Amino acid sequence: MGVAISEEGSGVHVNAITEAPSGFDNLTNGFSTQAAMDAARDSFETTESFADGIGPVFNNTSCVSCHQNPFFQTGTGSQISELRAGHPGAHPVRQRGADVQDHPQPRG
13-40 pLDDT per residue, tens: 566 666 655 566 778 878 889 999 899 8
- Residue 108 included in any domain: no
- Residue 44 included in any domain: yes
- Residue 105 included in any domain: no
- Residue 12 included in any domain: no
- pLDDT at res. 75: 46
Per the CB < 8 A criterion, the answer to whether 66 and 60 are in contact is: yes
Contacts of 56 (CB under 8 A, 6+ apart): 63
- Residue 37 included in any domain: yes
Residue range 75-93: average pLDDT?
A: 60
Number of domains the chain contains: 1
* Residue 38 structural domain: 25-78
- Residue 20 included in any domain: no
- pLDDT at res. 40: 86
Q: Could you tell me the pLDDT band of residue 71, with boundaries at 50, 70 and 90?
A: very low
- Residue 95 included in any domain: no
- pLDDT at res. 35: 94
Amino acid (1-letter code) at residue 16 = A
